[in-house]
């Protein structure tokens, strides 16, 4: 007996009265939804649609309509349409279901249950239009105390040497998205934006293409378990180095780059054969324990003459705080925590949706553990995974983060509509693809402006939020949980966050 | 709002409490009659080697016997007595103020460079973090003492007979409470060991500062932001051995724009301070005067959202919220001026 087909996910309809048959939809859809008939009619194959909205955004007449799940199942609270379809698809394929972007399950969002504070009467709010407002952030090790002596002649002498730190003019950075997972034009746009906004971005595990060299002072180069693209030239070009142990979208497993996306240029940058799947090992095979990590951190520092900060990125898992405390005891300069909503180009769906913990809880427990152990100064804490707006940034910092990485938000500012089909290499926005005709749709000049606008606008909003809270320096927001309240959060979560409920 | 005043005689010539009482009462517009207090240095010459522990007891039965037990474990009580008071019609007596003159057994705290202080700090943290209900240590320095209660400045002063004490440094505070009205423990000055603090303002960075001192072994127990200032001074001054102008720089540092313009050596120093002591930076409006046995320092927040005026006369240095208060205390005062935002005003004992 055949399993038959599953119903349509999306239905595309064209309002034929509105349509002027300009064929922009036909040209723009890389998934092949639209076909032009000989008589000039447009045929629609809705089954191929991914809801990427490229056709809709390009249609000059607003003639295209998209509806999600146009075919009903018998409703059932447990056996959702998605659960049923996954079973049907896996019965057919016998394989792991792949998915893109971040966790798509309906977990509560802690950010949306945290509210920020503002001043009234007893202290004045500060107006960032008229008063200085400092968002400058330094990432790296800080001494636990300074050795400062006052000499006989009254001169002050500083006897402590600072470790190298990254200087950012905003606590917002762009996370690691590799060349391969995204196109060179996409990476160029992000790099230009990072340079324009005086912040940093990550290379991901994809090497550093020579076209990015002009922006190398704003790049954090990644060393992951596949070691793709890593050589001394790569390490020396980065402003900082990041060892990727895990990522929030798929804790416990390595990166996946389908061979379809490994074109000649990607293969050269990654130093792998063209067309081959780049599947990074789940662990680093030279790191089976925390002391091995400490060795790699030291090794990378030694190779770059102790001039660059080294970050370590881990996925937010249950004992993230203890792992972070271990990392803080190595020579690492920052620990990056990636929450379970972190995006990805490709991940097994079962990992994306079920493994790891939310970033909000992870920041709070890591900051608390480091604080309890008196080693908070030894590492900066960078949070990522599902940060959608400036309020999420402010809340992350108030929970204890030094800075954040954004990924999906930066892609959305370049056109991405979060359709989640990045792993197929057909991204019609020219972002998650290597097909030349698609990549050329993305103009780095224009898109870098959009990404920079996003970072600038969030930075402005963050200044306003800080000013309203009577704070004129970002370090006074960091870990300042008394300026947060939890709304409809359970007692256990409030306890982990160390935040009082609203009204308390 | 709150009114503050501090004075030091740099030659260590003593002043009795009558002048500061009058000066503080002058600033009643800044208070609400729900809290006032005084700190004086040099008042216990007969016990100058002892830590003077001032404690509010709810009664002298249970809390006192518990406190006796714990402090006698850590040292010797040289003398103890109820702090002399005189009933005031407008002041409701909520606690019994008591004082111990205490000598810690320094050999009990191994591995510390300042074992005496560490024992006393430990006792203060332990008693105050509500392990002993009905007891609160509100003063713990040597040859100094804090006297405070819920009431108007003149009533609190008369209650403690403040005019009978002679000190070379005085701090005083007139409180307009919002958080814990009527609670004696909430009145200023706040004190730990040698450090006393009077504060006008509200620290918006309290959560950050609190976490920082807590990760360094302090416990915040007073439900108010001012105590964190005393702990920061103890941490940065006693443990990190920073000069007082550097402590002020850590708490109210120059802006990055200013630092960027400095000469290299100064720039490196200021950058190091901001990077290392970021969690000690105090944000929000404040004017603060801090005292120890060898000096006082007054400063405001980085954009001076609270007033601070300085006056000098001979060996005396006055720091206050209001010029009028200084003039009340010393009509002949010279050199009245207003320090800039974040600029420390330091008065040191010179003998």
Minimal Cα–Cα distance from A142 to chain B, Å? 6
Domain's final residue, options A26, A46, A72: A72
In a domain, A183, yes or no: yes
Cβ A150 vs Cβ B243: under 8 Å: yes
Say what the pLDDT of residue A279 is: 87
Domain's final residue, options A36, A55, A72: A72
- In the structure, what pLDDT confidence band is assigned to residue A257 with cuts at 50, 70 and 90? confident
Share of chain B above pLDDT 70, in %: 99
> Which residue of B211, B214, B235, B274 to mutate against A (max A Cβ within 10 Å)?
B211
CB pairs under 8 A between A and B: 113
Residue A142 has pLDDT above 70, yes or no: yes
Say what the pLDDT of residue B110 is: 85
Using one digit for the tens of pLDDT, what is the confidence trace for A152-204?
888 899 999 999 999 999 999 999 999 999 999 999 999 999 999 999 999 99
Using one digit for the tens of pLDDT, what is the confidence trace for A114-137?
999 999 988 889 999 999 999 999
Minimal Cα–Cα distance from A463 to chain B, Å? 14
Cβ A447 vs Cβ A123: under 8 Å: no
Q: What's the rounded mean pLDDT across residues A242-268?
A: 90
Q: Chain B within 8 Å of A136 (Cβ-Cβ)?
A: yes
Query: Cβ contact (<8 Å) for A142 and B208?
Result: no
Nearest to A180 by CA among A445, A440, A423: A423
Q: Which domain holds residue A452?
A: 175-501
DSSP 3-state assignment of B136? strand
Q: Which domain holds residue B263?
A: 3-348
Contact residues for A19 (Cβ-Cβ < 8 A; gap 6+)? A42, A61, A63
Count of domains for chain A? 2
Count of domains for chain B? 1
In a domain, A121, yes or no: no
Q: Chain B within 8 Å of A476 (Cβ-Cβ)?
A: yes
Say what the pLDDT of residue A358 is: 97
Minimal Cα–Cα distance from B6 to chain A, Å? 23
Query: Cβ contact (<8 Å) for B268 and A158?
Result: yes
Query: Cβ contact (<8 Å) for B207 and A481?
Result: yes
Query: Cβ contact (<8 Å) for A471 and B243?
Result: no
Say what the pLDDT of residue A117 is: 96
For A367, name the nearest residue in chain B, comparing CA atoms only. Answer: B211
Say what the pLDDT of residue A198 is: 97
Nearest to A32 by CA among A56, A49, A12, A9: A49
Q: Which residues of A touch B206 (CB under 8 A)?
A: 480, 482
What is the rounded distance in angstroms from the CA atom of residue A387 to the CA atom of residue B3? 44
Assign residue B175 the CATH number of its domain: 3.60.20.10
Using one digit for the tens of pLDDT, what is the confidence trace for B105-155?
999 988 888 899 999 999 999 999 877 889 999 999 999 999 999 999 999
In a domain, A100, yes or no: no
Assign residue A243 the CATH number of its domain: 3.20.20.70
In a domain, A170, yes or no: no
ipTM score here?
A: 0.92
- In the structure, what pLDDT confidence band is assigned to residue B178 with cuts at 50, 70 and 90? confident
Assign residue A24 the CATH number of its domain: 3.30.70.20
- Considering chain A, what is the average pLDDT of its residues? 95
- In the structure, what pLDDT confidence band is assigned to residue A1 with cuts at 50, 70 and 90? low
A57 and A201 share a domain? no
Q: What's the rounded mean pLDDT across residues B81-100?
A: 94
Residue B223 has pLDDT above 80, yes or no: no
DSSP 3-state assignment of B154? helix
In a domain, A92, yes or no: no
Say what the pLDDT of residue B347 is: 94
Residue B298 has pLDDT above 80, yes or no: yes
Using one digit for the tens of pLDDT, what is the confidence trace for A309-336?
999 999 999 999 999 999 999 999 999 9
Say what the pLDDT of residue A260 is: 86
Say what the pLDDT of residue A374 is: 93
In a domain, A101, yes or no: no
What is the rounded distance in angstroms from the CA atom of residue B315 to the CA atom of residue B300? 23
* B2 a catalytic residue: yes
Share of chain A above pLDDT 70, in %: 100
Residue A209 has pLDDT above 70, yes or no: yes
Q: Chain B within 8 Å of A276 (Cβ-Cβ)?
A: no
What is the rounded distance in angstroms from the CA atom of residue B61 to the CA atom of residue B238? 35
Query: Cβ contact (<8 Å) for A475 and B274?
Result: yes
Q: Which residues of A touch B216 (CB under 8 A)?
A: 374
Using one digit for the tens of pLDDT, what is the confidence trace for A211-253?
999 999 999 999 999 999 999 999 999 999 999 999 999 999 9
Nearest-CB residue to B283 (from A142, A144, A476): A476
A61 and A191 share a domain? no
Burial grade of A162 (CB within 10 A; 0-12, 13-18, 19 or more): middle
Tokens of A383: 């949070």
What is the rounded distance in angstroms from the CA atom of residue A306 to the CA atom of residue A162? 12
Minimal Cα–Cα distance from A212 to chain B, Å? 29
In a domain, A259, yes or no: yes
Q: What's the rounded mean pLDDT across residues A369-380?
A: 95
- In the structure, what pLDDT confidence band is assigned to residue A414 with cuts at 50, 70 and 90? very high
Residues B2, B23, B71, B150: which is the catalytic one? B2
What is the rounded distance in angstroms from the CA atom of residue A147 to the CA atom of residue A129? 37
A188 and A66 share a domain? no
In a domain, A348, yes or no: yes
């Amino acid at each position: 007996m055949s399993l038959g087909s599953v119903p349509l996910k999306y239905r595309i309809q064209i309002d034929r009265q509105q349509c002027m048959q300009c064929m922009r939809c036909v040209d723009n859809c890389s998934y092949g939804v639209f076909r032009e008939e000989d008589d000039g009619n447009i045929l629609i194959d809705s089954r191929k649609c991914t809801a990427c909205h490229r056709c809709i955004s390009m249609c000059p007449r607003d003639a295209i309509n998209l509806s999600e799940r146009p075919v009903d199942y018998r409703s059932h609270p447990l056996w959702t349409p998605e659960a049923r379809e996954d079973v049907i698809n896996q019965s057919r394929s016998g394989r792991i279901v792949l998915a893109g972007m971040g966790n798509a399950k309906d977990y509560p969002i802690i950010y949306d249950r945290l509210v920020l504070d503002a001043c009234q009467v007893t202290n004045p709010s500060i107006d960032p239009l008229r008063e200085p407002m400092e968002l400058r952030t330094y990432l790296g090790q800080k001494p636990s105390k300074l050795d400062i002596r006052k000499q006989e002649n009254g001169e002050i002498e500083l006897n402590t040497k600072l470790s190298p730190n990254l200087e950012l003019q905003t606590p917002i950075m762009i996370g690691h998205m590799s060349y391969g997972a995204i196109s060179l034009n996409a990476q160029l746009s992000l790099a230009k934006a990072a340079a324009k906004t005086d912040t940093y971005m990550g290379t991901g595990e994809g090497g550093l293409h020579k076209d990015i060299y002009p922006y190398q002072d704003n790049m954090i180069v990644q060393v992951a378990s596949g070691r793709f693209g890593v050589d001394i030239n790569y390490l020396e070009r980065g402003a900082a180095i990041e060892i990727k142990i895990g990522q929030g979208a798929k804790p416990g497993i390595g990166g996946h780059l389908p061979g379809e996306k490994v074109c000649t240029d990607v293969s050269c940058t990654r130093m792998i054969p063209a067309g081959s799947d780049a599947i990074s090992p789940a662990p680093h095979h030279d790191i089976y324990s925390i002391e091995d990590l400490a060795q790699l951190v030291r090794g990378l520092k030694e190779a770059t003459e102790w001039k660059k900060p080294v970050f370590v990125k881990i996925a937010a898992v249950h004992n993230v705080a203890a792992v972070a405390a271990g990392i803080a005891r190595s020579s690492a300069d920052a620990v990056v925590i990636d929450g379970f909503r972190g995006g990805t180009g490709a991940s097994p769906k079962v990992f994306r949706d079920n493994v790891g913990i939310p970033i909000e809880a992870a920041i709070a427990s890591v900051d608390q553990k480091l604080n309890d152990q008196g080693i908070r100064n030894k590492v900066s804490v960078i949070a990522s995974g599902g940060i959608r707006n400036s309020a999420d940034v402010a809340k992350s910092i108030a929970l204890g983060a030094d800075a954040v990485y954004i990924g999906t938000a930066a892609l959305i500012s370049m056109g991405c509509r979060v359709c989640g089909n990045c792993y197929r290499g057909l991204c019609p926005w020219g972002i998650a693809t290597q097909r030349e005709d698609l990549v050329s749709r993305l103009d780095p000049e224009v898109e870098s402006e959009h990404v920079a606008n996003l970072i600038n606008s969030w930075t402005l909003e963050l200044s306003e939020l800080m000013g309203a809270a009577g704070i004129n320096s970002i370090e006074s927001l960091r870990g300042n949980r008394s300026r947060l309240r939890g709304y409809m959060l359970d007692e256990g979560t409030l306890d982990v966050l160390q935040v009082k409920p609203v009204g308390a | 709002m709150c009114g503050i005043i501090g004075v030091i005689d740099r030659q260590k010539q003593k002043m009795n409490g009558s002048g500061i009482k009058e000066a503080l009462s002058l600033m009643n517009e800044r208070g609400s009659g729900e809290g006032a207090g005084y700190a004086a240095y040099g008042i216990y010459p007969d016990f100058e080697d002892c830590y003077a522990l001032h404690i509010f007891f709810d009664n002298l039965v249970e809390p006192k016997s518990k406190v006796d037990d714990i402090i006698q474990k850590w040292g010797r009580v040289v003398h103890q007595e109820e702090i002399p008071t005189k009933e005031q019609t407008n002041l409701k007596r909520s606690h019994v103020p008591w004082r111990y003159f205490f000598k810690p057994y320094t050999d009990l705290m191994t591995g510390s460079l300042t074992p005496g202080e560490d024992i006393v700090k430990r006792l203060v943290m332990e008693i105050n973090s509500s392990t002993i209900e009905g007891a609160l240590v509100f003063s713990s320095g040597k040859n100094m003492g804090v006297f405070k209660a819920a009431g108007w400045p003149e009533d609190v002063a008369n209650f403690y007979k403040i005019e009978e004490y002679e000190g070379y440094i005085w701090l005083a505070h007139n409180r307009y409470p919002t958080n814990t009205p009527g609670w004696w423990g909430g009145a200023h000055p706040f004190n730990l060991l040698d450090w006393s603090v009077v504060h006008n303002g509200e620290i918006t960075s309290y959560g950050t500062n609190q976490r920082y001192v807590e990760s360094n072994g302090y416990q915040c127990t007073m439900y108010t932001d001012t105590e964190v200032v005393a702990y920061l001074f103890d941490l940065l001054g006693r443990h990190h051995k920073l000069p007082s102008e550097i402590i002020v720089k850590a708490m109210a540092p120059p802006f990055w724009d200013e630092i960027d313009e400095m000469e290299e050596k100064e720039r490196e120093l200021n950058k190091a301070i901001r990077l290392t002591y970021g969690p000690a930076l105090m944000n929000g409006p404040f004017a603060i005067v801090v005292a120890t046995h060898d000096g006082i320092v007054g400063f405001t927040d980085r954009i001076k959202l609270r007033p601070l005026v300085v006056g000098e006369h001979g060996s005396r240095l006055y720091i206050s919220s209001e010029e009028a208060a200084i003039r009340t205390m010393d009509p002949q005062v010279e050199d009245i001026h207003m320090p800039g935002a974040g600029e420390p005003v330091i008065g040191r004992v010179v003998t």
